[in-house]
Amino acid sequence: MLINGKEEAVKSCLSPSELKGQVFCYSSRNVSKRNCCFTDFCNNETLHLYPRLPLLVQRTIARTIVLQESIGKGRFGEVWRGKWRGEDVAVKIFSSRDERSWFREAEMYQTIMLRHENILGFIAADNKDNGSWTQLWLVSEYHEHGSLFDYLNRYTVSVDGMIVLALSIASGLAHLHMEIIGTQGKPAIAHRDIKSKNILVKKNGTAVIADLGLAVKHDSNSNAIDIPVNHRVGTKRYMAPEILDDTINMNSFESFKRADIYSLGLVFWELARRCSVRGIHEDFQLPYFDQVPSDPSVEDMRRVVCDQKLRPSIPNQWQSCEALRVMGKIMRECWYANSAARLTALRVKKTLSQVTVIKDVKE
């Protein structure tokens, strides 16, 4: 732990307050869990890492990672696969000019009670000086399938596979949106950039929501929203109508959750198109691929979504498969122009969990 600014090994009982963010349990093999075991300390507590404490844990990890290969580029930098103690990890590298973005995302991932099987597992944040410039690192769990966008480009999915992915995405979003009351509670969080490129696919066929750099928290006690200056953020193609036409009520946190739901409906459309029933499926396309340019402007999207009130088309053959029929119904109820009429993430989750996968197409 950190004693007078120096790293020292301590083998004794520690209080929970001493544990927070200052201790690394060397016997814990699974870095994403970070549980102290009894051979280290008598507490056996899960560490909660906070952004404003001296995070020796995170530094210890980040400074022993060996970068292996670049696996993608995002809005604020490059993503690498790295090795730490023989395990694969993902390293998102920001340039120093994007320090605010790095700090905000690190802070979001370290929200108390955020950890969930369908939210990307955060491991560490660190700044690394390579001599000529400073790199800002965010280290997270690595998922070799990559994003849902990549996955659906490469593969079709079975009916079961579609429901598992959709349910896990809805579960992750419901957890983000949910406020947990209590001293170890969690604020409600809106993502504000839900899209297939910000969702990763795990080996077991479920998904995790990633990229919390644009997310906002809601303080229910003061009713304050920690919103950054620019409110028209996110990816234009996935922006809800009320963001495109600037009618969104910025003072209501519900507005941001409802905008997430609209985007979720578009992701579900991408997913359902790749569902193969009796060998029949659609090719992969982004939402509104046939109505806007490849890099649409806000004006392009507003014309289609707000003025013409168009939405992605739902193929007739989806009616002949129960799971696809339910998915189509959910999409429509996520896409209402009236945001208050849209489903909640919890309702989407409950509806999907009740889907009985009917493999045979209705006669």
DSSP conformation letters of 20-76: TTT---TT---TTT-B--TTT-S---B----TTS--HHHHHHHTT-EEEEEEEE-SS
Q: What angle do CA 108, 344, 169 make, to 5 degrees?
A: 55
Per-residue pLDDT, 60:
74
Rounded CA separation 207/90 (Å): 16
Per-residue pLDDT, 273:
98
Q: Is 98 a catalytic residue?
A: no
Provide the terminal-to-terminal Cα distance of the chain, rounded to the nearest Å.
66
- 148-353: CATH topology is Transferase(Phosphotransferase); domain 1 (1.10.510)
61-141 maps to which CATH number?
3.30.200.20
Which residue is catalytic, options 40, 126, 193, 260?
193
Tell me: is residue 92 an annotated ligand-binding position.
yes
From 21-25, 197-201, 237-241, 355-359, the region with the lowest mean pLDDT: 21-25
Rounded CA separation 352/167 (Å): 6
Rounded CA separation 319/301 (Å): 28
Rounded CA separation 197/146 (Å): 9
* 35-70 per-position pLDDT tens digit: 443 333 333 333 333 333 345 666 777 788 999 999
Kindly list the domain boundaries of the chain, sorted by start residue: 61-141, 148-353
* 64-97 per-position pLDDT tens digit: 899 999 999 877 789 999 998 889 999 999 988 8
Please state, in angstroms and as integers, the Cα–Cα distance from residue 106 to each residue in 87, 139, 254, 293, following that order: 21, 9, 24, 34
Q: What angle do CA 94, 140, 200 make, to 5 degrees?
A: 100
The SS3 of residue 240 is coil
* 295-332 per-position pLDDT tens digit: 999 999 999 999 999 999 999 999 999 999 999 999 99
